[in-house]
A and B are shown apart, each in its own frame.
Chain A
Amino acid sequence: MRTFQSKPIRQTQYQGRQVSYIDDQLIVKLKPEFREDQQAQESVLGALPEASVLQSGFDRTGMAVVILPESFDPLEVAKNLSEQEYVQFAEPNFLESAS
């Protein structure tokens, strides 16, 4: 199985191209107006699957990284989370490569 940082990766068609993403990582970004809003942050984190772990808290641009429990697909979780009013976007951690 292909891995990145010792984590399994998944592959899918995304925006018309074959892409890879890390099996358990989810990136979520708050809308600018909610970046300093504690309630918004708690609401977003509360909407994650149970047993999710915050890998890194909300940074200077309002982004946080979450480790999802096994069996959850970051792409599916991201779809649901993106519907939250506080969320600017949620997406898996897609792989890049040197060119």
Chain B
Amino acid sequence: MPTKRTKEKSAIKSRRTDRARSPKRRASVDSITLESPPIFQSRRIVKIKWKGKDVKAVEGLFAYQSRAQERVERNAVERALGIAVAESTRADRLGIGIFSAEEGEGVSVVRASSAAPRIGSDVRWVEPVLLDHISLTPNDTYFSDQWGLKSLNAERAWDLWTGSPERVVIAVLDSGIPLENGRLSHLDLNDPNRFVLGPDVVNHDEDPADDNGHGTHVIGIAAATSNNNRGVAGLWPGTALAIKIFDSNGNGSSLSFKDGVFSAVDFAREHDARLVINYSGGGPDTATKKSAVEYAHSEGALLVAAAGNDGADSIDYPAAYSADFPSVIAVGAIGSDRKRAHFSNRGDELTVVAPGVDILSTTPNYHVTVNTEGLPTKYAGMRGTSMAAPFVSALAALVWSQWPSLTAEEVRDKITTSADAAPGPRREYGHGIINAERALI
């Protein structure tokens, strides 16, 4: 459980007229419609190096400047690039026009930029069509209070990210997600194309409604809907699968963890997706949990687990299995001063640290256990290594979707090698503080 209430936010008034579509009921049987990859004018956006910088370009679309003619001869372009040109536009008053490659033609930037002289003296230059963008600061009401996202350079990371959200799923093994009458009921967690309902393995039914509040906070940190003029922004814009393994008191068991892992693996298999499992819980070293982690490892999944909140000189399990499995990340917590939170467990198994104090995120829009501890409904601040783990899970999903061919171990390596230098001992900070921008370069 989060160790203490740290911040309250007045609730945003919910509109009764807002209608969430009926969420998918069974993760294991439903096919889900996932978001499209980034596109511009029906073409894919690709990340390229251009004049020494990482930029986004529209695949197969090129600009040229003509010296004299209104339109560069299509044949000249085709000869120079060795591809079929689908169409070209008339040059404008500056002599600048656009041509596009036939679908499936892989025209490299290098080839395009070096082709101008070969096209003929009528062409000054050819270059890929580069994307400009409005530097995006999400318009979510409380975004300015989300210090954790700023701390890990989330805005720059979003600018750099060109991954496809349908390739990765974050399975959040926790206390569930807000549901009323079977429908996703929190306005920041109600997109049925992104928030998928897994089973409730602790109560043995198909209803993962959050009756504790912890799971809602965790899933919001990882994946709350961003830029929707309300609430908070999540780091990961793709699919999140809610599997309920903690009861209303925030308790689970080795067995519910194992069953949750099985459900997550089944979902990822069925949807041919890379799997990040977020586990913001912990307990003793048990053979059952270790077997489940071994199974997840054998299935290629990445497990991100909280180090624990006892301020102890040992890491909770399964996080501490990071020493046995390279596909496990043990996460500790830091405060906004970028120093280790006093409650964050220490140990050689610690992999990285992430923001975990005064973390503003979602809470259920109805009364649950955490509200009895003074936390408001809808949005609240909490602290704990539980809150740090979903930042890392979301970053892992961004990285994996950017480079889908990576293994779970390689995703972990990306996160550890891009982390900001640890401001203290390895046992307290692992490889350092996660840096989302650097992880995506």
- Chain A residues within CB distance 8 Å of chain B: 4-5, 14-15, 17, 19, 22, 25, 27, 29, 59-61, 63, 65, 88-89, 91, 93-99
Q: CB within 8 A of A29: which of B202, B287, B307?
A: B287
- Asked if residues B281 and A96 are in contact (CB atoms below 8 Å), the reply is yes
Main secondary structure of the interface of B (DSSP, over half): mixed
Knowing A97-B1, A98-B175, A98-B246 touch, does A25 contact B283 (C-beta < 8 A)? no
Question: What is the CA–CA distance of A59 and B266 in the complex, to the nearest angstrom?
Answer: 13
CA distance A88 to B307 in the complex (A): 27
Contacts of A5 in B (CB 8 A): 202-203, 247
Q: Which of the 9-residue segments B56-64, B74-82, B252-260, B393-401 touches chain A?
A: B252-260
Shortest beta-carbon distance from B221 to chain A in Å: 14
> B232 to chain A: closest CB distance in Å?
20
Interface residues, chain B, with chain A CB atoms under 8 Å away? 1, 174-175, 202-203, 212, 214-215, 246-247, 250-258, 262, 280-288, 291-292, 295, 306-309, 316, 384-386
Chain A CB count within 10 A is highest, among B214, B215, B288, B307, for B288
Complexed CA–CA distance, A60 and B261 (Å): 12
A-B contact count (CB 8 A): 96
In the complex, the answer to whether A19 meets B283 with C-beta atoms within 8 Å is yes
Do A4 and B247 have beta carbons less than 8 Å apart? yes
Which chain A positions have C-beta within 8 A of B1? 97-99
A13 to nearest B CB, angstroms? 10
A97 to chain B, nearest CB (A): 6
B-side contacts of A88, CB under 8 Å: 287
User: Known: A96-B256, A99-B308. Contact between A59 and B262, CB under 8 A?
Assistant: yes
Q: How far is the CB of B314 from chain A (nearest CB, A)?
A: 8
Q: Are A63 and B282 in contact (CB under 8 A)?
A: no
- The answer, among A17, A59, A63, A98, for a CB contact under 8 Å with B281, is A98
